[in-house]
Homo-oligomer: A and B are copies of this chain.
């Protein structure tokens, strides 16, 4: 069939409401017939966003059957996997089935790839009812197809890393990249990396996937001290063993005063605070744990915009608050490099990622 050129942002796939970007749309058209600049992918695995996975697990009471039904229902009704509660998606891996003649993504049939844009804007059809997913991890074995637009960034999976590990790393690769940029700038302002003036960085949720990568990125970018904050002793022990943060402190990030006190005692307040937890209600604590003139980077999809804005105002805290943009040039390469170079990061990922 012949079609005029599609929109590189995928506007031609938006069914409702009309005119919005695919991420903001309620429903997309996942028709497998591609437009000239599109790519169709045979999906083999979804990686749900951490906030979305937690919400699904909790609302389903941990029942795998209920979780399978919830995800397949969302995808059937919306044409994409975007959790209506959290608004977030995740990413996927698969094999390129067809690349349109106008695609600029550089992909060819047979390439094993991971998407670097969110599932929340990726047209998707599930064919197997997710029968192989046991609901225990956010990695979901899946048969189906997905569509990449002209500007839907994807990367060929590396040969030297297991697929599930690479998928988990790529899913959160925006966090270490933006952390690296912000900490590097703070280090430059403070007199250069390696000097005694490097910034103090606190990573909330440093025992998790985006948190461990962000901690490693902060150190590489010249942090004088990386304070790793985790909720429980088991995570603290794993993080200490991984050697990614020093000191490691246990605090509930939802308890603002407790968190700020713990970070202060560990050498804070932080010049840069990185929020990598997947629970709501951490905005106030992140602000209070941060020094005047410092920066908070919110990566958690459970972040509330108003809670952050009004929380900082209410505490008269002059802090810069960044919405964690999942796209930073070079993000995939940096994250894969960190997991290769830092055994501690790889340990944490391997302990959390189920082998296929």
* A residues in contact (CB < 8 Å) with B: 7, 9, 11, 19-24, 86-89, 116-118, 120-121, 151-153, 174, 254-258, 281, 283-284, 288, 298, 301, 303-329
Contacts and interface: CB of A to CB of B under 8 A. Distances in A.
Given A255-B19, A305-B305, A24 B283 contact: yes
B304 A87 contact: yes
Contact of A321 (B22, B121, B322): B322
Contacts of A311: 21, 23-24
11 contacts: A24-B284, A117-B314, A118-B313, A120-B306, A301-B305, A301-B306, A309-B325, A309-B326, A312-B327, A313-B326, A323-B323
B314 A325 contact: no
A306 to B, nearest CB: 4
A281 B24 contact: yes
A174 B313 CA distance: 9
B256 A20 contact: yes
Highest count of chain B CB atoms <10 Å: which of A288, A310, A317: A310
A317 B89 CA distance: 18
A216 to B, nearest CB: 21
A23 B284 contact: yes
Copies in the complex: 2
Contact of A86 (B86, B256, B281, B306): B306
A284 B20 contact: yes
Given A301-B306, A318-B328, A321-B322, 18 more contacts: A11-B257, A20-B256, A21-B314, A23-B310, A23-B311, A24-B311, A87-B306, A88-B306, A89-B310, A118-B313, A151-B316, A153-B316, A304-B305, A309-B324, A312-B327, A313-B326, A316-B327, A322-B322
Given A24-B284, A315-B151, A309 B301 contact: yes
Contacts of A307: 23-24, 87
Contacts of A328: 318
A301 to B, nearest CB: 5
A178 B202 CA distance: 24
Nearest to A282: B24
A347 B242 CA distance: 61
Nearest to A326: B313
A325 B329 contact: no
A86 B305 CA distance: 10
B312 A326 contact: yes
B308 A323 contact: yes
B20 A310 contact: no
Nearest to A296: B323
Contacts of A255: 19-20
A120 B304 contact: no
B254 A87 contact: no
Contact of A281 (B7, B20, B120, B258): B20
Contacts of A254: 19-20
Contacts of A304: 87, 305
Contacts of A318: 325, 327-329
A280 to B, nearest CB: 9
Highest count of chain B CB atoms <10 Å: which of A116, A121, A315: A315
